[in-house]
Structure 1
Amino acid sequence: MSESEDHIGGVESRESRPCCPSAALPARLTVVVEDTPFSEDKTFLVRSCDYFRALYRSGMRECHQQEIHLKCLHARGFFIALAVLRGEAPGLDADDIVEAIECAAFLQVAPLTKHLVNIVDSDNCLLMLHTAATFGLLDLYHAAALFIRNMYSDLEAEVRRTLAPDLISFVESLTPSAFVAVGAHVTCSESGSVHAASRTVCSLDESGNSWKTLTDLPLEASTSMAGVAVLDNKLYIVGGVHGAHMDVVDASFCYDVSMDGWTKLAGPLQRRCNLSLVGQDGCLYAIGGEYERAVMSSVEILELKSGRWRFAAHLPRPAAGAACTKTMGRIFVCLWRPMETTEIYEYVPPRDEWRFVTSLIRRQSYGHCMVAHRDDLYVMRNGPSDDFLRCVMDCYNLGTGQWSALPGHFANSRGSLFTAVIRGDSVFTLNRSSTLEYVVGGKTWKPRRQMKGFPRSGSVWTFLLQIPICQNEKFTNKS
């Protein structure tokens, strides 16, 4: 193999050996940053970081040194990078963020960039955007800009006071995420007439206070007892039931809003309905569900790049229609023990395991929904039997490990609050009569505004999509 092929960017894969013999390299490497030494396993650094991977393929003198000095970096940033590479999720203050972005950009530490993207919030998004632009960390730059765009009405004054004109222009050029809903409908008949009028995906025009049709469901697709999720601005529908005999749909469907078209995908290896679907890091997770009236604990992962399903670690116990959410790059599921115990588990992809997080005992009925904001998980359920049409909420903080009850009750008639979606610091819920927006502040949800309800009966799936301007122009007003 030629020397050029052995360098980064050549034909050799990332997993190939460095050009200098591994036997000649030290097992541990001392990395000195700002006069602070870090002693690390060399193989760990090469496997985890593009900078060290390229260095040990280069054949340069540094390949044989036991100590390397990194200039133009801060020790704190390198310390944070090492923590993230070990699987930790450290909280970062403003100084930490700047130094972490500098390190992620210089050393090309993809997991650190991913961690920074996962912790963008309304307190740090402006700093994230400015610093990512300065160091050329594009993934974080786009993530922070979209977050700001989605909260622009709240952040505009601060944006104009603190950001450069070119950054403001970029933020304003983005399309904000729209609140989108689809009813839980079965497949159409061959003629396409049965339920066809209601088998539409609709977007809320917030400025005009109206619902508009985005697309029709494919004839074969069913959202009844299906798994529905959005990943990378694409809508996925997996499983579900159709027909008079409630047969399980054995295919999956993807709607690409940028192309305004549907694609049919392979269904899970195990047919399932009443499943939970979560999208994360290029994969769809089909969690639990039912088949032939048997509740399942099996979990499958669809790797979208390969288009192949594979089984993952089973749930701790069978579950159908389990409440799931994701936050800060982590996936959580609620498992209920009728009728008083709530247990939350986290799926840990590197270990392919479900990790117990916490449990809560409340004298209430079944839970229906879980959403996340920053490091808080909000669990919603019906009220006590004497006030069943009231929604009560409990909040679990991942950082402190503490539960707290939200004050007050929320009406849940016809599904309100059981289809909640988080956008920035806002929570959107809906039913037939109204769409309600709340602002998350501390441990409270404060009502912000009321808009038109979703004009469909029955259960509803809700999510966010960035809809291109050309698609908005094709919308037709929903009656």
Structure 2
Amino acid sequence: MSEHGGETKDSSGCAGADSDRLLPLSVSDKLTIVVGNTHFSEEKKLLVQSCDYFQALYRSGMKECQQEEIHLKCLRARGFLIALAVLRGEIPILDEDDIVEAIECAAFLQVTPLTKYLIDFIDADNCLLMYHTAATFGLMRLHHAAALFIRDMYDDLEAEVRNTLPSDLIAYIESLTPQIFVAVGAHVTCGVDETVHAASRTVCFLDETSKGWKVLTDLPLEASTSMAGVTVLDNKLYIIGGVHGVQKQVVDGCFCYSPENNSWRRSAGPTQPRYNLSLVGVDSCLYAIGGEYERTVMSSVEIYNLKSERWTFAAHLPRPAAGAACTKTMSRIFVCLWKPMETSEIYEYISGTDEWRLVTTLIRHQSYGHCLVGHRDNLYIMRNGPSDDFLRCLMDCYNLTTAQWTSLPGHFANSRGSLFTAVVRGDSVFTLNRSMTLEYMVHGRNWKPRRQMKGFPRSGSVWTFLLRLPDALMLH
């Protein structure tokens, strides 16, 4: 089973294969599920596709396969109701009791989409409950995800952790590596006779203890971060495309850095060479979105499946776009496209149907969205100030649950585009320029400055992301 709402991932890509091939011929029509005193009527196909429990049941040949009514005695009705809501594509809001019952149901029935939904629902208020309850019911994927969230926010949560959790659960959290803020400047490829530039071709991380920057690794000689696609997936850094030379020759190939091995690996690039693309990673797939080739802006999109190591084309963007603002949140992909006059449109890629769906539209006088940041069910769009003023950054928030826009009060200093490189860690947002690294706390839907550290000591554009680094790399 896959992580895309119960769909099965084809070896050729992440958009899903024909999941009907997993179903026995006898599975059809409705099934009545009795939980306690509550009766639920649901399509057998949906249950078999989404729950390992029902899939195993209908493959077993047991007498229950012929029954129109099945009793689940180990669950509570509210947990099963939440599971059905998630399977239908709804977004239920969960209180503490709901979370416990949902975890119980996800563990007992092995409901992959519900587990994924719970992971996306983790926040500072519920992470300890998620962590402890998932450990109790043996839902280890959620248990690990909640532990990582707590580790990333340990400075804020340590006191509560020590007063709430048993020692073995505390020890597991402290054994994990927190995410570190990492940056790399936009550099072209470096030939062997260009060693004068090699010193600046480094990937650096922020040491939050000393509040300064340290070198993590050097870029491969063939790689370029100038107009490239850069993202992190499964704690590996990927650099795709980019250009070298005044003629904007496209760099072919995909460069992958593994902190675990402190090494680079090169693999095949997209079928369509491209630069100035947007790159995002979700569920073991890389999405190369739009970009340019031979100075022509493109709408094509390609997906790289890390498991099959194959590129496949996906649905084109609604219109050509280069360097489009793009983000992921709650395992969903969003892209911001400009549309004259003064219109920013946000589209979501729907993997199950391989389509780009318009989510919302923002119209602001003399202003377009230049950066998109996702934090749980909120999308933050950063745009230039009035009259193309890029020294001031205005921000609007779109809530995916309520489908409502909110304008954040005031404006944000945006010297050299710092807010256009924002990344989220837990409930913090890190922004960066040459002058300073500024961390914001996300409070409600607003951003409040929290602390300031040293800026990135490189000129020009910069890419920022998060990695979990082994202790040996942090100390070297």
Same fold (TM over 0.5): yes
Q: What is the Cα deviation at residue 336 of structure 1?
A: 0.9
Instruction: Give the length in aligned residue pairs.
Output: 458
* 1:259 match: secondary structure: coil
Q: What is the Cα deviation at residue 223 of structure 1?
A: 0.6
User: Quick one: higher RCO (CA 8 Å, sep 6+), 1 or 2?
Assistant: 2
Q: What is the Cα deviation at residue 266 of structure 1?
A: 0.9
Q: Which residue matches 2:333?
A: 331
Please point out which of 137, 143, 158 is paired with 2:160. 158
Q: Which residue matches 1:426?
A: 428
Please point out which of 439, 442, 467 is paired with 1:440. 442
CA RMSD of aligned residues (A): 1.7
| Distance in 1 of aligned mates of 2:378 and 2:420 | 17
Q: Which residue matches 2:315?
A: 313
Q: What residue identity is the alignment partner of 1:56?
A: Y
Q: Which moved more, 1:37-46 or 1:351-360?
A: 37-46
Please point out which of 271, 274, 298 is paired with 1:272. 274
| Distance in 2 of aligned mates of 1:285 and 1:459 | 22
Q: Which residue matches 1:212?
A: 214
| Distance in 2 of aligned mates of 1:81 and 1:386 | 47
Q: Which moved more, 1:371-380 or 1:43-52?
A: 43-52
| Distance in 1 of aligned mates of 2:176 and 2:422 | 24
Q: TM-score, normalised by structure 1?
A: 0.92
Mapping of 1:29-428 within 5 angstroms? 29-191=31-193, 193-385=195-387, 387-428=389-430
| Distance in 1 of aligned mates of 2:143 and 2:44 | 30
- Cα deviations by residue, 1:94-130 (Å, 9 ceiling, x for unpaired): 1111111101111111111111111111111111101
Q: What is the Cα deviation at residue 204 of structure 1?
A: 0.1
Among all aligned residue pairs of Structure 1 and Structure 2, give the percentage whose two residues are the same amino acid.
Answer: 74
- Decide whether aligned partners of structure 1 residues 339 and 455 sit closer, same or farther in structure 2, where only a CA change above 3 A counts: farther
* 1:195 match: secondary structure: helix
Q: What residue identity is the alignment partner of 2:103?
A: I
- Cα deviations by residue, 1:195-239 (Å, 9 ceiling, x for unpaired): 211111100000011111111111111110001010110111111
- Decide whether aligned partners of structure 1 residues 210 and 26 sit closer, same or farther in structure 2, where only a CA change above 3 A counts: closer
- Decide whether aligned partners of structure 1 residues 218 and 64 sit closer, same or farther in structure 2, where only a CA change above 3 A counts: same
- Please, which runs of 5 or more residues in structure 2 have no aligned partner? 1-18
- Please, which runs of 5 or more residues in structure 1 have no aligned partner? 1-12, 475-479
Q: What residue identity is the alignment partner of 1:432?
A: R
Q: Which residue matches 1:461?
A: 463
Contact 1:132-1:138 at 8 Å conserved across structures: yes
Contact 1:251-1:268 at 8 Å conserved across structures: yes
Q: What is the Cα deviation at residue 15 of structure 1?
A: 4.4
| Distance in 2 of aligned mates of 1:14 and 1:150 | 40
Q: What is the Cα deviation at residue 68 of structure 1?
A: 0.9
Contact 1:192-1:219 at 8 Å conserved across structures: no
Contact 2:22-2:49 at 8 Å conserved across structures: no
| Distance in 1 of aligned mates of 2:388 and 2:80 | 56
| Distance in 1 of aligned mates of 2:131 and 2:290 | 38
Q: Which moved more, 1:96-105 or 1:82-91?
A: 82-91
Contact 1:338-1:366 at 8 Å conserved across structures: no
| Distance in 2 of aligned mates of 1:331 and 1:386 | 27
Contact 2:419-2:431 at 8 Å conserved across structures: yes
| Distance in 1 of aligned mates of 2:421 and 2:233 | 17
Contact 1:222-1:249 at 8 Å conserved across structures: yes
Q: TM-score, normalised by structure 2?
A: 0.93
Q: What is the Cα deviation at residue 313 of structure 1?
A: 0.8
- Decide whether aligned partners of structure 1 residues 473 and 324 sit closer, same or farther in structure 2, where only a CA change above 3 A counts: same
- Decide whether aligned partners of structure 1 residues 54 and 384 sit closer, same or farther in structure 2, where only a CA change above 3 A counts: same
Q: Which moved more, 1:75-84 or 1:255-264?
A: 75-84
| Distance in 2 of aligned mates of 1:288 and 1:467 | 31
Contact 1:376-1:398 at 8 Å conserved across structures: yes
Q: What is the Cα deviation at residue 192 of structure 1?
A: 5.1
